[in-house]
Structure 1
Amino acid sequence: MAAMTQLTEAQIRELIQGPGEVEWSYEMRRQCQEILPNLLLGPLQVSKSLETLKSLKVTHIVCIRDAKEAFSVRPRFPEHFQYMTLDVQDSEEQNLIRLFPNAKNFIDAAILQGGRVLVHCNGGISLSPSFVVMYVMQHLNLAWEDALHLVQNRRYCISPNGGFLTQIKEYESIYKAHNAVAQFPVQPRTTTRRKREAEEGEDERDESPKRMLVTDDDDGDDDGDDAMES
């Protein structure tokens, strides 16, 4: 999914605010919500219903789980959907930034192919929302607060833990630095015409015949011989 850099400031603000007519209810935390076109965020419960997934036209699923939840939070319909499974500790010490690029590539490739992606963890409260916030932030070139608000305005119950929130903040500077480097790729070094001509001139001088040097002693000997012969 190409980044929406062509949106105006007003359009970005409207996108962050989300659909204002939605009235959030407790039951909605058991459902999934569309955060961006073809990107859904929700809990385990949605991923367990083949009927629900098909009705949502889901094609790809990012299953994020704590290792101890592997017996229940797992790919259930591999014959119907393409899965990416991430084992992530739901603790403040877990490094999300290291795992995020592969998840982003999976989501991008799926949507580029015309697919729809569900990102879920167990409750859809902390783990999976953290990944989706980072994705939204980079995809729309947003500040971390705006990305967080955009996701919260569609799934009101999200609450990344303190460690994840710190990493979301850190990722803003990481992705912006990456974008800056991408805009100014390193150019291969080229030799200027003047420098090439100078180097070629040096080569020609090096290859010219060496001139014989005449010493003072040689001159003296020659003068002596000429005097004796006169």
Structure 2
Amino acid sequence: MATLPNEEHIRNLIQGPAEVEWRYEMRRECQEILPGLLLGPFQASKSLETLQSLGVTHIVCIRDAKEAFSVRPRFPEHFQYLVLDVEDNEEQNLIRLFPQANQFIIGAMQAGGKVLVHCNGGISLSPAFVVMFVMQHCQLSWENALHLVQNRRYCISPNGGFLTQIKEYESIYRANISLAANSHAQPMNRIVSRRKREDEDDEDESRYARSPFP
């Protein structure tokens, strides 16, 4: 019974706000995926007034190298940027690039900032990064993380290669959590083991002291 509230919270988190009615023009806007994390297209990053009204402080600009002349930081004097040049195709390795984006987003959120993650269209490339972040941050399965993001930005559709990497990343982040938990437990196990050996040595010394034989 104790797990039910947690399960209900996760279910509500994934479903998102039910009152939102998706309209086609919303694909040109950004949406809040988690508190402090926005996802959208490049168009959403072009209005200084809009960004400031949303409280954005950091921007992750993900672009194909061919788009660098147009998809670029527009207001570097107002926001902190992270620019990732990637190829928007199924062979692009996102898992290798994700830690940099993950660290940037976490740092911004921990500082009380708000991050906009965008690519050109906000359909495939940037959503793949955001799904991986949500999956690890909320410790969800890849399906639940994908649904969480889709329920807030309905138009996302990571390509097949990105979707495969999203699935692969679930086992990676879960293994990292398990490894961290084990590394934390090992020092305690060593302390307990050392104390046990010390107690056994004390018992041996006491037994030897009581022995009638030299």
- Please give the TM-score of this superposition, normalised by the length of structure 1: 0.79
24-33 vs 186-195, which deviates more?
186-195
- The letter of the residue matching 1:66 is D
Instruction: Write out per-residue CA displacement over residues 142-172 of structure 1, whole angstroms, 9 at most, x where no aligned residue.
Output: 0000000000000000000000000000000
Q: 1:102 aligns with which of 92, 100, 105?
A: 100
- The letter of the residue matching 1:178 is N
Instruction: Write out per-residue CA displacement over residues 57-76 of structure 1, whole angstroms, 9 at most, x where no aligned residue.
Output: 10000000000000011111
Name 1:47's counterpart in structure 2: 45
Aligned pairs for 1:1-20 (under 5 A) are: 8-20=6-18
C-alpha change, 1:83 and 1:196, in structure 2 (3 Å) is farther
Secondary structure in structure 2 of the residue aligned to 1:8 = helix
Structure 1 residue 21, shift from structure 2 partner: 1.3
- The letter of the residue matching 2:7 is E
Structure 1 residue 193, shift from structure 2 partner: 3.4
Paired residues in the alignment total 191
Secondary structure in structure 1 of the residue aligned to 2:93 = coil
Q: In 2, distance between residues paired with 1:82 and 1:108?
A: 13
Q: In 2, distance between residues paired with 1:52 and 1:88?
A: 26
Structure 1 residue 140, shift from structure 2 partner: 0.6
Structure 1 residue 51, shift from structure 2 partner: 0.8
- The letter of the residue matching 1:86 is L
Instruction: Write out per-residue CA displacement over residues 112-165 of structure 1, whole angstroms, 9 at most, x where no aligned residue.
Output: 000000000000000000000000000111000000000000000000000000
Q: Are 1:75 and 2:76 counterparts?
A: no
- The letter of the residue matching 1:73 is V
Q: In 2, distance between residues paired with 1:168 and 1:194?
A: 50
Q: In 1, distance between residues paired with 2:73 and 2:179?
A: 37
- The letter of the residue matching 1:158 is I
- The letter of the residue matching 2:198 is R
- The letter of the residue matching 1:84 is L
Name 1:179's counterpart in structure 2: 177
Name 2:198's counterpart in structure 1: 193
Deviating beyond 3 angstroms after TM superposition, the runs of 4 or more aligned structure 1 residues are: 186-197
- The letter of the residue matching 2:77 is E
Larger Rg: 1
Structure 2's unaligned 5+ residue stretches are: 203-214
More helix by share: 2
- Please give the TM-score of this superposition, normalised by the length of structure 2: 0.85
Structure 1 residue 184, shift from structure 2 partner: 1.3
Name 1:30's counterpart in structure 2: 28
Q: In 2, distance between residues paired with 1:148 and 1:166?
A: 12
Q: In 2, distance between residues paired with 1:184 and 1:196?
A: 28
